[in-house]
């Protein structure tokens, strides 16, 4: 693995020969995750911590290894590491599909002793749609890149059934859901209202409910639009896996039907008018007509629509939305002496996120714009050669999280994308395992 990784690092550094710092940052960020966050477990799975917290988030761990997909097609070590992570993720989803973060072992460690269904494996049980989406996306990408079907064992099947069940239950949250989450003596963004059920939503609009955002902050309105977009996309991936790999046509049809229902819900309910921009997607809705017009730095976000693979019914709506969220019409868009970009209510006002800047670059069509954002990232790391969570728009020496593996991975994805190095998601890779299972 080391030789393969070092060769790629040399290639990228050569392509940034005109900016040595970008090459050095890529080297440090790319090597950091695999060297500092990955732990091989006795059951042949892999546990990946988020960085400065010992637990494994389903979302973060998936995002942390995505930059290694470019090596997985040629290097068995990286392929097997990602497959082992996926096996662990699907095992954890099988244990509790409502949890977002898990322990290395079932020792009862947790962020807080919350009022919700407890399990010794669970670090935190904030229900977030994206936590179930990321492993499905990663499994599909690994299969398409390498032909590897190793993650599609018994736990995958159990997890897939539970994901479908939860998404369907949460399409009728008020009537069917038993999920609740209360955290006492904390900020309102860390707990759900109405005795742990969250703000009232209208059942039966097609979209599926989420208690929390990818930031782990509570949703203002329960239909989180970018996460529903992500769900619609990955359910179509699950449908393909079910029909082609598992040979389970009924499972594939259920996944595809749910994907269509969610997508129709988005297009029918999540679009509104914004003065000066026209028709735009809201960030959150309740189904009764209430909209939250904003975007958050965490992914999935409205900014990440192209990145997560969501194809809008009307491209003009997506273009209008991008213009809106990259302006002061988005309450979490900040412009300062050093940088302009999207932040989050999860961090102090005026703090821009490196993840959001990386996503902005990944969704730019112009190579020159991608380069501009890479250089902005290099100017705001405050000498650490690593990415942070958020930094002050006027003073990058003020930041949250000295090192943040997810943010490092997003920088690496943008650097690789700029260099034209991307996962080879070819159909022939997935026609058969070719012995890679």
Is the model's pLDDT at 432 over the cut of 60? no
Q: Residue 98 has what pLDDT?
A: 98
pLDDT, one tens digit per residue, over 29-40 is 999 989 999 999
Taking the C-alpha atoms of residue 335 and residue 327, their distance in angstroms, rounded to an integer, is 9
Q: Are 296 and 353 in contact (CB under 8 A)?
A: no
Checking DSSP bridges between strand 38-40 and strand 46-48, what pairing results, if any? antiparallel
**Where does the pLDDT of residue 437 fall: very low under 50, low under 70, confident under 90, or very high at 90 and above?**
low
pLDDT, one tens digit per residue, over 83-114 is 999 999 999 999 999 999 999 999 999 999 99
**Where does the pLDDT of residue 50 fall: very low under 50, low under 70, confident under 90, or very high at 90 and above?**
confident
pLDDT, one tens digit per residue, over 311-334 is 999 999 999 999 999 999 999 999
Q: Residue 171 has what pLDDT?
A: 98
Non-local (6+) Cβ contacts of 294 within 8 A are 283, 325, 330, 331, 332
Q: Residue 375 has what pLDDT?
A: 98
Q: Residue 431 has what pLDDT?
A: 60
- The per-residue DSSP string of 350-397 comes to TEEEHHHHHHHHHT-S-HHHHHHHHHHHHHTSTTSSS--SEEESS-TT
Mean pLDDT of 271-289: 98
**Where does the pLDDT of residue 384 fall: very low under 50, low under 70, confident under 90, or very high at 90 and above?**
very high
Taking the C-alpha atoms of residue 238 and residue 234, their distance in angstroms, rounded to an integer, is 6
Mean residue pLDDT of the chain comes to 96
Q: Residue 430 has what pLDDT?
A: 67
Residue 374 token pair: 């890479």
pLDDT, one tens digit per residue, over 183-226 is 999 999 999 999 999 999 999 999 999 999 999 999 999 999 99
Is the model's pLDDT at 436 over the cut of 80? no
Left (φ > 0), alpha (ψ -120 to 50) or beta: where does 45 sit? beta
**Where does the pLDDT of residue 425 fall: very low under 50, low under 70, confident under 90, or very high at 90 and above?**
confident
Q: Residue 435 has what pLDDT?
A: 47
pLDDT, one tens digit per residue, over 158-190 is 999 999 999 999 999 999 999 999 999 999 999
**Where does the pLDDT of residue 434 fall: very low under 50, low under 70, confident under 90, or very high at 90 and above?**
very low
């Amino acid at each position: 693995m080391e030789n393969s990784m070092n060769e790629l690092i040399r290639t990228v550094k050569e392509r940034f020969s005109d900016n040595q710092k970008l090459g050095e940052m890529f080297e440090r960020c790319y090597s950091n995750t695999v060297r500092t966050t990955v732990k091989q477990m006795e059951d042949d799975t892999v546990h990946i911590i988020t960085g400065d917290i010992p637990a494994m988030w389903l979302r973060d761990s998936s995002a942390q290894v995505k930059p290694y997909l470019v090596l997985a097609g040629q290097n068995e070590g990286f392929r097997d590491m990602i497959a082992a992570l996926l096996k662990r993720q699907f095992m954890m989803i099988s244990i509790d599909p409502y949890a977002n973060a898990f322990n290395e072992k079932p020792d009862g460690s947790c962020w807080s002793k919350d009022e919700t269904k407890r399990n010794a494996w669970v670090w935190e049980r904030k229900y977030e749609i994206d936590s179930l989406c990321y492993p499905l996306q990663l499994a599909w990408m690994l299969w398409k890149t390498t032909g590897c079907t190793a993650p599609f064992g018994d736990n995958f099947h159990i997890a897939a059934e539970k994901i479908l069940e939860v998404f369907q239950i949460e399409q009728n949250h008020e009537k069917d859901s038993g999920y609740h989450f209360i955290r006492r003596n904390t900020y309102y963004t860390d707990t759900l209202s109405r005795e742990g059920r969250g703000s009232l939503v209208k059942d039966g609009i097609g979209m599926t409910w989420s208690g929390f955002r990818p930031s782990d902050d509570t949703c203002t309105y329960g239909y989180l639009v970018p996460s529903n977009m992500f769900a619609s996309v990955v359910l179509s991936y699950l449908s393909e896996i079910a029909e082609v790999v598992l040979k389970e046509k009924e499972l594939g049809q259920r996944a595809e039907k749910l994907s269509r229902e969610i997508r129709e819900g988005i297009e029918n309910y999540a679009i509104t008018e914004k003065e000066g921009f026209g028709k735009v997607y809201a960030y959150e809705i309740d189904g009764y007509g209430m909209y939250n017009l904003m975007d958050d730095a965490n992914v999935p976000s409205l900014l990440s629509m192209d990145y997560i693979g969501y194809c809008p019914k009307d491209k003009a709506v997506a273009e209008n939305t991008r213009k809106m969220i990259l302006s002061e019409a988005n309450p979490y868009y900040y412009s300062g002496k050093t940088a302009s970009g999207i932040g989050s209510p999860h961090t102090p006002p005026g703090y821009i996120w490196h993840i959001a800047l990386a996503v902005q670059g990944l969704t730019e069509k112009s190579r020159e714009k991608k380069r501009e954002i890479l250089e902005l990232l290099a100017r705001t790391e405050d000498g650490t050669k690593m990415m942070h969570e958020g930094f002050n728009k006027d003073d990058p020496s003020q930041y949250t999280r000295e090192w943040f593996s997810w943010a490092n991975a997003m920088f690496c994805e943008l650097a690789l994308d700029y260099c034209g190095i991307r996962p080879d998601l070819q159909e022939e890779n997935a026609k058969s395992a070719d012995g890679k299972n």
